């Protein structure tokens, strides 16, 4: 069978004059000696001649294209697009996605949701209070100075505690006047502190300041301006706010001169942390600097959180780019 | 205007320039499709699709033989259609009733009816023998012996090696020879392969 195929190939190439001189001479010697091979070659020659003599078929119509036919692919775009772009973008997407998942998993597993913000800030309590105060600020700006701390859960609880503590304050006047208990050293830092600090620039400030003015003599016995404390903390401001709350008519009935310290009677964990670096801030009511803006807030956002957001956005953009590159490559 | 300029203009999206090329090559493209497909309607469809595809993918043409580029596209169209037919066999109505007498282009001028009938019988037998070949051998045989292309050109159109072209063509010719020899009674005596002195 192989001999037959090889012989057919030789005869076919011989008909087309495609054999080199040596093969051609050898075949012609065989043809001269073998009548069957000669007959086979002649039948092949006649078969090929019949095919070559086939009349060309007339075309049934012209195949010109209509004018509205448009090219499908823009040549410049095809020529410019590198072949490695799609695999590169795919690999980059995978790498960035893995990094994003790793950072996210680290955040969630070791610190829980939102735990990152407690880690990295240099002045965590104060900064978080400032950051967390954003919704409160907004609500208060909208509703005016008479708004109480009932916007978010945390301020609500603190305000309630503060009010209750203020109401109970007259029962322990000595404690308020003398050395305060450790937990009262620093009032809890709540968004209310930031509220007052930022709200000082709003129209609500006069009301708040006027309500706060009688507080210092009642609480620490010293006016806030003369306070020796180097840096007033938002926690101290919160104490002042809570004391201001106590100036409502109900509070005035039960305690005409409420001391501010009991406002911090139930300090939170982060308030205790804040106590350590500034133990002298007892009874401080001086408001924090009011020039704290959004840029300051953003500067204290955890870098891990920034990295998470950046990686997530990058992975998304790379995914879209890789999808586009693969689709363009298949055209 | 020469072909290179027409191709360049067509690549810029000028349909008129491409239609000039269509008018130049449509006979060859259609005849190749007809010999591969075996019926005029399928050949016309394959030819039209090939020209549209060729125009739309003209940006991929990087020079060389434009005829080979067109024949490669129509060959691939025919392959696709043959594969589709193999999956879903169907009878073409156009293939059944062709009133050749109504079309004067189907007869050669000066040919008497007997000669025309005889030539048509031979063409039908050969076409049947061609269609009996495997597609790759069929295409190679048509490109070589109907279109008159060289081995190198066939290799470019079919995108195979030169040795593959030689072996495919040899097998195709051998099978067609055997078919015509075995069905010699279908041919007029003067067209039979085994005439006196050869059998």
The model's confidence at residue A121, banded by pLDDT at 50, 70 and 90, is: very low
**Span A282-287, average pLDDT:** 46
How many residues can be counted in chain A? 331
Residue A273 pLDDT exceeds 70: no
**Long-range CB contact pairs, A173-176, < 8 A, 24+:** A173/A259, A175/A261, A176/A219, A176/A259, A176/A261, A176/A262
The model's confidence at residue B3, banded by pLDDT at 50, 70 and 90, is: confident
The model's confidence at residue B59, banded by pLDDT at 50, 70 and 90, is: confident
The pLDDT mean for chain A works out to: 63
Q: Where in chain B is the domain with CATH 1.10.1740.10?
A: 1-98
> What are A221's two structure tokens?
């016995």
Which residue from B32, B8, B40, B30 is spatially nearest to B146, judged by alpha carbons?
Answer: B32
**Interface check A299 vs B, CB under 8 A:** no
Residue A221 pLDDT exceeds 60: no
- In this predicted model, which residue has the larger pLDDT, B103 or A308? A308
Q: What does the CA dihedral A237, A242, A245, A250 come to, rounded to 10 degrees? A: -150
Q: Where in chain B is the domain with CATH 1.10.10.10?
A: 110-199
Quote the minimal CA–CA distance from A87 to chain B in Å: 22
User: Angle A35-52/A2-15 helices, nearest 10 degrees?
Assistant: 60
A window 64-103, beta carbon within 8 A of B: 64-67, 69-75, 78-79
Burial class (CB in 10 A: 0-12, 13-18, 19+), A126: buried
CATH architecture of structural domain B110-199: Orthogonal Bundle (1.10)
CB B138 within 8 A of CB B36: yes
- Closest residue, chain B, to A74 (C-alpha): B59
Query: Which ranges of chain B does DSSP label H, i.e. alpha helix?
Result: 3-11, 15-37, 40-56, 66-87, 93-96, 113-131, 135-141, 151-158, 162-182
Residue A150 pLDDT exceeds 70: no
Is B1-98 CATH 1.10.1740.10? yes
Of A39, A64, A78, the CB nearest to B59: A78
Please provide the DSSP assignment of B30-84 as one string.
Answer: HHHHHHHH-SHHHHHHHHHHHHHHHHHTGGG--SS-HHHHHHHHHHHHHHHHHHH
pLDDT at position B173 is 96
Of A39, A48, A54, the CB nearest to B198: A39
CB contact under 8 A, A63 and B30: yes
Residue B133 pLDDT exceeds 60: yes
Of B31, B106, B122, the CB nearest to A50: B122
CA distance A125 to B84: 73
**DSSP 3-state assignment of A161?**
helix
What pLDDT digit, counting tens, does each position of B144-171 carry? 999 999 999 999 999 999 999 999 999 9
- Closest residue, chain B, to A56 (C-alpha): B31
CB A88 within 8 A of CB A326: no
CA gyration radius for chain B? 19
Of A12, A43, A59, the CB nearest to B27: A59
CB contact under 8 A, B181 and A71: no
Quote the minimal CA–CA distance from B163 to chain A in Å: 10
pTM for this model (two decimals): 0.50
How many angstroms separate the Cα of B125 from the Cα of each of A54, A97, B24, B181? 11, 66, 30, 11
Comparing A72-86, A114-128, B179-193, the range with the smallest average pLDDT is A114-128
- Closest residue, chain A, to B124 (C-alpha): A54
CA distance A42 to A27: 14
Choose from A184-193, B85-94, B116-125 the range with maximum mean pLDDT: B116-125
The model's confidence at residue A277, banded by pLDDT at 50, 70 and 90, is: very low
What pLDDT digit, counting tens, does each position of A291-328 carry? 555 556 556 677 778 888 899 999 999 999 999 888 87
The model's confidence at residue A81, banded by pLDDT at 50, 70 and 90, is: low
């Amino acid at each position: 069978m192989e001999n037959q195929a090889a012989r057919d190939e030789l005869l076919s190439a011989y008909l087309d004059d495609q054999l080199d001189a040596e093969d051609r001479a050898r075949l012609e010697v065989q043809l001269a000696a073998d009548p069957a091979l000669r007959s086979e070659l002649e039948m092949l020659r006649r078969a090929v001649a019949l095919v070559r003599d086939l009349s060309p078929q007339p075309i049934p119509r012209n195949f010109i294209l209509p004018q509205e036919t448009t090219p499908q692919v823009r040549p410049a775009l095809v020529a410019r697009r590198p072949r490695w772009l799609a695999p590169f973008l795919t690999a980059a997407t995978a790498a960035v996605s893995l990094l994003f998942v790793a950072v996210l998993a680290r955040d969630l597993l070791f610190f829980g949701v939102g735990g990152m913000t407690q880690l990295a800030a240099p002045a965590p309590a104060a900064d978080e209070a400032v950051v967390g105060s954003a919704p409160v600020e907004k609500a208060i700006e909208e509703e005016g100075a008479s708004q109480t701390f009932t916007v978010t859960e945390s301020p609500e609880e603190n305000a309630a505690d503060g009010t209750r503590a203020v109401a109970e304050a007259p029962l322990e006047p000595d404690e308020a006047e003398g050395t305060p208990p450790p937990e009262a050293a620093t009032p809890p830092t709540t968004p209310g502190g930031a509220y007052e600090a930022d709200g000082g620039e709003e129209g609500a400030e006069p009301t708040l300041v006027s309500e706060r003015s009688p507080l210092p003599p009642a609480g620490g016995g010293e006016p806030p301006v003369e306070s020796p404390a180097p840096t007033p903390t938002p926690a101290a401001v919160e104490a002042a706010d809570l004391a201001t709350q106590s100036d409502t008519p109900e509070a005035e009935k039960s305690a005409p001169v409420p001391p501010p310290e009991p406002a911090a009677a139930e300090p939170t964990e982060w308030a205790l942390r804040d106590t350590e670096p500034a133990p002298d801030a007892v009874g401080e009511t001086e408001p924090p600097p009011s020039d704290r803006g959004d840029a300051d807030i953003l500067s204290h956002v955890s870098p891990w959180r920034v990295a998470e957001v950046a990686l997530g956005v990058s992975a998304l953009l790379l995914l879209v780019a890789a999808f586009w590159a693969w689709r363009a490559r298949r055209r | 205007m020469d072909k290179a300029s027409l191709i360049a203009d067509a690549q810029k999206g000028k349909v008129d320039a491409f239609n000039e090329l269509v008018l130049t090559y449509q006979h060859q493209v259609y005849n190749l499709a007809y010999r591969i497909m075996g019926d005029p309607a399928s050949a016309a469809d394959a030819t039209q699709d090939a020209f549209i595809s060729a125009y739309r993918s003209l940006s991929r043409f990087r020079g060389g033989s434009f005829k080979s580029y067109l024949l490669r596209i129509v060959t691939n169209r025919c392959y696709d259609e043959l594969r589709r037919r193999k999956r879903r066999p169907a009878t073409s109505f156009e293939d059944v009733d062709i009133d050749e007498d109504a079309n004067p282009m189907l007869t050669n001028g000066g040919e008497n009816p007997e000669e025309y009938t005889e030539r048509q019988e031979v063409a039908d037998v050969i076409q049947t023998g061609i269609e009996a070949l495997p597609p790759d051998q069929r295409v190679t045989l048509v490109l070589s012996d109907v279109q008159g292309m060289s081995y190198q050109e066939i290799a470019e159109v079919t995108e195979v090696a030169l040795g593959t072209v030689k072996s495919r063509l040899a097998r195709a010719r051998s099978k067609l020879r055997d078919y015509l020899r075995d069905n010699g009674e279908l041919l007029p005596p003067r067209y039979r392969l085994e005439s006196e002195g050869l059998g």
